């Protein structure tokens, strides 16, 4: 009998030899993808940005005004929005050091400085807010009134934001900043009396609504009841804290009265009795 297995193997080899490669091989393209032509030249260019950080020690600052650490005002203010609280504190201290060495430059740079540091009124770190108050006392004492007054409105808006902050320590710091500003620029402060007086009353009332929303800002009684029902919280104010707020509120009201009556309060008024 013939060998059938050998015949089958030979037939299989013959079939493999008869197969010829296809002239055109079609690629399977996934749905949604664009078919790229093989003879098309790609003209796209890819580039990457390389940021070379210069060391501040190697920068030539000859002929420029610097602070005691050898930094210019622009170098110091570049760290005003740094994520680290220590760096922000050093930034404010560096600005104060710069103007302590160069007081004549304060009037020409006060607008830039206030624009960069005003947001620190509501800074989460108490040390940064303390340095800010020290710097603002220097600015209020050395800057010319006509130069500084136009920039104080934007600064006062940040102070009002700090007074209505949810954190009690930030509210206290903002109240100190306002108290430092009242005796030197009463007219500027009185321009925001409509916003500041409700804030004082709200601080003395001891009522806090969840989310920091004031009940007085509701447009209707229904909205007010809804806000009061959303977890109101009575805050117990100690006599010391109440006196702290009342003293600063008294100074603010005196400034408002003196400004409205052109420097002369009405006779037998509360302000006249207190001054005696």
pLDDT in tens, 36-67: 777 888 788 888 887 665 555 545 566 678 88
Cβ-proximal residues to 123 (8 Å cutoff; 6+ apart), any chain? 85, 88, 129, 132, 170
Query: Which residue in 119, 190, 128 sits closest to 158, CA to CA?
Result: 119
Query: Alpha-carbon distance 199 to 160, whole Å?
Result: 8
Query: Which residue in 73, 190, 178 sits closest to 121, CA to CA?
Result: 178
* 269 located within any domain: yes
Prediction pTM value: 0.63
Burial of 120 from C-beta contacts in 10 A (0-12 / 13-18 / 19+): buried
Alpha-carbon torsion angle 199, 204, 208, 211, nearest 10: 20
Read off the pLDDT band of 16 (50, 70, 90): low
Whether 252 and 186 share a structural domain: yes
Whether 143 and 233 share a structural domain: no
What does DSSP assign to residue 237? P
Residue with tokens 């420029």: 64
Q: Is the C-alpha dihedral spanning 199, 201, 203, 205 positive or negative?
A: negative
Whether 192 and 147 share a structural domain: no
34 vs 105, which has greater pLDDT?
Answer: 105
232 token code pair: 């109101």
Mean pLDDT (the chain, rounded): 77
* 94 located within any domain: yes
For a pLDDT cut of 90, what percent of the chain falls above it? 25
The domain boundary residue, chosen from 107, 134, 151: 151
Residue with tokens 């009998």: 1
The alpha carbon of residue 263 and the mean position of all alpha carbons in its chain are separated, in whole angstroms, by 37
Whether 140 and 199 share a structural domain: no
Query: Alpha-carbon distance 121 to 171, whole Å?
Result: 9
Domain span including residue 74: 66-151
What does DSSP assign to residue 33? P
* 177 located within any domain: no
* 77 located within any domain: yes
Whether 192 and 145 share a structural domain: no
What are 133-157's pLDDT values in tens digits? 999 999 998 888 888 888 998 999 9
What are 168-206's pLDDT values in tens digits? 899 999 999 999 999 888 888 888 888 888 888 888 876
Residue 75, classed as helix, strand or coil, is helix
Per the structure, the count of domains in the chain is: 2
* 22 located within any domain: no
Query: Alpha-carbon distance 243 to 137, whole Å?
Result: 23
Name the least confident of 2-6, 176-180, 226-230.
226-230
């Amino acid at each position: 009998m013939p060998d059938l297995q050998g015949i089958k193997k030979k037939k299989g080899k013959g079939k493999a030899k008869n197969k010829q490669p296809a002239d055109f091989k079609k690629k399977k393209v996934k749905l949604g993808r664009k078919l790229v032509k093989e003879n098309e030249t790609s003209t796209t260019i890819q580039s990457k940005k390389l940021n070379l950080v210069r060391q501040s020690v190697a920068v030539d600052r000859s002929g420029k005004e610097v602070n005691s650490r050898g930094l210019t005002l622009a170098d110091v203010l570049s760290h005003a929005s740094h994520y680290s609280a220590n760096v922000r504190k050093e930034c404010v201290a560096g600005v104060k050091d710069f103007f302590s060495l160069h007081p004549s430059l304060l009037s020409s740079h006060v607008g830039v400085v206030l624009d960069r540091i005003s947001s620190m009124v509501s800074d989460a770190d108490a040390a940064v807010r303390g340095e800010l108050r020290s710097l603002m006392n220097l600015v209020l004492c050395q800057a010319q009134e006509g130069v500084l007054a136009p920039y104080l409105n934007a600064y006062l808006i940040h102070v009002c934001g700090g007074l209505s902050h949810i954190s009690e320590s930030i509210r206290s710091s903002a109240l100190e900043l306002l108290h430092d500003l009242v005796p030197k620029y009463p007219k500027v402060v009185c321009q925001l009396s409509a916003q500041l007086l409700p804030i004082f009353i709200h601080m003395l009332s001891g009522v806090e609504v969840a989310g920091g929303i004031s009940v007085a800002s509701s447009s209707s009684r229904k909205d007010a009841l809804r806000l009061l029902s959303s977890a109101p919280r009575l805050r117990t104010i100690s006599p010391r804290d109440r006196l702290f707020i009342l003293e600063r509120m008294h100074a603010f009201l005196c400034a408002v009265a003196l400004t409205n009556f052109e420097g002369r309060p009405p006779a037998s008024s509360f302000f006249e009795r207190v001054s005696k």
